[in-house]
Amino acid sequence: MEVIQSFTIDHTRLKPGIYVSREDKGFTTFDLRITEPNREPAVAPAAMHSMEHLMATWFRNSRVKDDVVYVGPMGCLTGMYVIMTGTYTTSEMRSLTIECLEWILAQDKVPATEPQTCGNCLLHDLPMCQWECRRYLDRLRHDFHCEYTKLQITFEDGMVFADA
């Protein structure tokens, strides 16, 4: 089996920032890495769920809404994925994400948190979501990272996958 591309990222050296995870089939997948994997706590599930609702709402109503395909959390809860059509750089996504985070910090409620509109309407935490967004915003403004550090993987059959 082929190694999934995201499993070739050295998570021991990955810093919060914005990375291009994939570019294929006309789509760009951005890794909005909010916390430092395996060194900082992951975003709490309720805060991440609120962040998903807020980020998806903002991106799907922004000036780039026609290019937004998906906004959602990573399974490890250390960041969000934003999938876009068209060509966007990490610098452009940084500007968009900063706008989004500033908007989130001005909100007093999370959209679509009723039983009719959300599959887990009790799992939300706006204050903690905003705390995480404030910290991430500060990082994007003052300590921006956008280049992955890749791993070299040797398969059982001796084949080597390296992408640095």
Which pLDDT tens digit goes with each residue over 22-54?
Answer: 999 999 999 999 999 999 999 999 999 999 999
pLDDT at 126: 98
pLDDT tens, position by position, 88-114: 999 999 999 999 999 999 999 999 999
Rounded Cα gap, residues 67 and 74, in angstroms? 20
pLDDT at 130 over 60: yes
- The pTM of the full predicted model, rounded to 2 decimals, is 0.90
C-beta separation of 124 from 134 below 8 A:
no
Asked if pLDDT for residue 57 goes beyond 90, the answer is yes
Coil/strand/helix, residue 28: strand
- Residues forming a β-bridge with 51: none
Average pLDDT over residues 46-63: 98
pLDDT of 152 reads: 65
Measure CA 154 to chain center.
28
Mean pLDDT of the chain: 93
User: For residues 56 and 50, what is the distance between their CA atoms, to the nearest angstrom?
Assistant: 10
Residues 109 and 77 sit within 8 Å (Cβ to Cβ): no
- What is the predicted pLDDT for the residue at 160? 59
Average pLDDT over residues 124-153: 93
Here the tokens at position 164 are 């640095």
Question: Taking residues 11-22, what's their average pLDDT?
Answer: 94
